[in-house]
Amino acid sequence: MERKAEIAHRCLLLDKSEIARGWHLFELEAPLLACAEPGQFVHLRTGCSSDPLLRRPISIHYADAAAGRIRLLVQVSGRGTALLARSSPGEELDLLGPFGRGFPFLDEAAPALFVAGGIGMAPLFFAAAQRQRAGLPFEFILGGRSSAFLPPEEYFLDHGFAPLTATEDGSRGLRGLATALLEKRLAEANRPGRIHACGPMPMLTRVVELARAAGVPLHLSLESRMACGVGACLGCAVPVKVQGNIEYRRVCRDGPVFDGEAVCIGN
């Protein structure tokens, strides 16, 4: 029996740069991954020994199908990501994927609103870039600690859009949280058709409240510790509401993007 798809990819690292403090942008030659959809992720090894043992899930940050290239945006947050940050162009990275179900309805005409907290912008950037290319309307709200901890504005402008930004110290855009921008935006008369969000849990909790109150459909990309990445180990389970009951769903296979109504966040 011939398997339909490749799961394992050794990808040449073409370029690597630190585009914000602790955020490393990887450009990889990956023709078979370049057809991935926004919201999908790859599962990558951070070294070649048994320690660290597990792969790390990282969103596809951008894919250029024509050039056969993908980008990953990795924030150093522990041992594995620190090891990754030490790799250099010319090396090969060991990736599995693409895995998971991405953001739905990205090709609909109604305006979309993306809400990104910190590194949560990695998959949303890809979704926004896709709508930009298709000439579909969207807005992008971005929140971060401080300007130095976010990619420069040109990074977004190169892809044809400018995010509405909030930083906790006011060094870029509004002083405050991304959700304050969202609240303001949802108070306006012309509401977006749909919200897609990714970011830290406190932000997502507030986004769920605001979207519910405004009656705008919401899709959230969730994080969870993973082992297999394909649905086999049940290690990445998160509780979701299914017909009034709470059941566990796999972030890697049933997500990482979940319906805002189903997730057990907020009330």
Partner 1 sequence: METDPRLALDLAGIKMRNPLIAASGCYGFGFDYLPWVDPRDWGAIALKGMTLKPRAGNPPPRLAETPSGLLNAIGLQNPGIDYFLEAIRPRLGELGCPVIANIAGESVEEYRELAAILDRVAEVSAVEINISCPNVRRGGISFGQDPATVEKLVGAVRRVYRGPLIVKLSLEAGDIAAVARAAESGGADILSLINTLKGMVIDVHSRRPLLGNITGGLSGPAIRPVAVRAVWEVAGAVSLPLIGMGGIASAEDALQFILAGAAAVAVGTANFVHPHVAREICRGLQRYLDEQGMGHYSELIGAARG
Ligand X SMILES: Cc1cc2nc3c(=O)[nH]c(=O)nc-3n(C[C@H](O)[C@H](O)[C@H](O)COP(=O)(O)O)c2cc1C
What is the nearest approach in angstroms of ligand FES to the Cβ of residue 34? 24
Using the rule CB under 8 A, which residue among 60, 128, 166, 228 binds partner 1? 228
CA nearest 256: which of 78, 100, 146, 42? Answer: 100
Could you say which of ligand X, ligand FES, ligand FAD, none residue 172 binds, taking C-beta under 5 to 8 angstroms by partner kind?
A: none
Q: Does the footprint of ligand FAD cover residue 74 (CB under 6 A)?
A: yes
Q: Which amino acid is at 205?
A: T
* CA distance linking residue 36 with residue 70, whole number of Å: 9
What is the nearest approach in angstroms of ligand FES to the Cβ of residue 43? 8
Place of tokens 């992008």: 140
What lies within 8 Å, CB to CB, of 48 at 6+ separation is: 94
- Residues in contact with ligand FES, counted by CB under 6 A, come to a total of 12
| Residues within window 220-259 making contact with ligand FES, judged by CB under 6 A | 226-229, 231-236, 250, 252
In the structure encoding, which two tokens stand for residue 63, read together? Answer: 């894919």
Are the C-beta atoms of residues 150 and 172 closer than 8 Å to each other? yes
Of 162 and 233, CB closest to ligand X: 233
Q: Does the footprint of partner 1 cover residue 227 (CB under 8 A)?
A: yes
Where helices occur in 15-174 by DSSP H, the ranges are 79-85, 121-134, 153-157
What is the nearest approach in angstroms of ligand FAD to the Cβ of residue 101? 11
Could you say which of ligand FAD, ligand X, partner 1, none residue 74 binds, taking C-beta under 5 to 8 angstroms by partner kind?
A: ligand FAD
Question: Across-strand partners of 58?
Answer: 42
What lies within 8 Å, CB to CB, of 33 at 6+ separation is: 9, 11, 42, 60, 63, 70, 95, 97, 98
Of 35 and 53, CB closest to ligand X: 53
Where helices occur in 21-120 by DSSP H, the ranges are 79-85
Using the rule CB under 8 A, which residue among 35, 53, 67, 213 binds partner 1? 53
Please tell me whether residue 129 adopts helix, strand or coil conformation.
helix
Of 163 and 229, CB closest to partner 1: 229
Q: Does the footprint of ligand FES cover residue 58 (CB under 6 A)?
A: no
Longest Cα–Cα distance in the chain = 58
Are the C-beta atoms of residues 185 and 207 closer than 8 Å to each other? no
Query: Which positions touch ligand FES (CB under 6 A)?
Result: 226-229, 231-236, 250, 252
Query: Which positions touch partner 1 (CB under 8 A)?
Result: 1, 3-8, 45, 50-55, 96, 224-239, 246-248, 253
Query: Which positions touch ligand FAD (CB under 6 A)?
Result: 41, 52, 54, 56-59, 61, 73-75, 77-81, 119, 122, 223-225, 251, 256
